[in-house]
Chains A and B, each alone.
Chain A
């Protein structure tokens, strides 16, 4: 497709379980971003990948969060030992020129 895609669209998990969220960016976009949108915190930057450079992980809230990007394309955000405060919508975006970020539909994560 032409846009950013994310899977799954919804994920319900139990506290303490690990989850993986997937993002497929727009073809040809070298930059990829993860954001978190929650009621209490609004939209927060999590992590940024640009080409083969080391990612900027400065927004990750704890060491339970990690992300990788394979082959400069697909990215996976992993949350280990999920907590209830991790419940949020996780948005992925990719960009080309002028940092115009195109967002995917998000994954709604609910931790019970």
Chain B
């Protein structure tokens, strides 16, 4: 069984500031890890994923995440926030089966 914990249901950042969204997971097998973004009234869009190999994963829109096995973490970062980054972000984990287990989500607001 897997589970995901996203620390902080709401994050507010200034435009141009670092965005850091925290995700910790538990999994009994090597996980596949994902970050999705959801804009208002839209479905989920894949930002990036980790399966195997390089632990620093780069995604779309300037986001990246690092898989740290020792910390069971997969935190999402972006060096400089843009107004268009305002959305809800979901971390998800999947083992060697097919179900995604999602975190509760983190809503990001960007202050001008």
Residues of A within 8 A of B (CB): 4, 31, 33, 35, 42-43, 45, 48, 50, 56, 59, 91, 93, 95, 98-106
Q: Are A42 and B43 in contact (CB under 8 A)?
A: no
Q: Are B99 and A104 in contact (CB under 8 A)?
A: no
Residues of B within 8 A of A104 (CB): 43
Q: Are A91 and B49 in contact (CB under 8 A)?
A: no
How many B residues touch A, CB cutoff 8 Å?
Answer: 20
In the A-B complex, list the 4 residue pairs whose CB atoms are closest, starting with the nearest. Answer: A43-B102, A103-B43, A103-B44, A105-B43
The A-contacting residues of B in range 7-39, CB under 8 angstroms, are: 32, 34, 36
Q: Are A31 and B105 in contact (CB under 8 A)?
A: no
Residues of A within 8 A of B102 (CB): 42-43
Residues of A within 8 A of B51 (CB): 98
CA distance A43 to B98 in the complex (A): 15
B64 to chain A, nearest CB (A): 17
Task: Tell yes or no: B42 within 8 A of A by CB.
Answer: yes
B23 to chain A, nearest CB (A): 14
Residues of B within 8 A of A95 (CB): 98
Q: Are A48 and B98 in contact (CB under 8 A)?
A: yes
Task: Tell yes or no: B100 within 8 A of A by CB.
Answer: yes
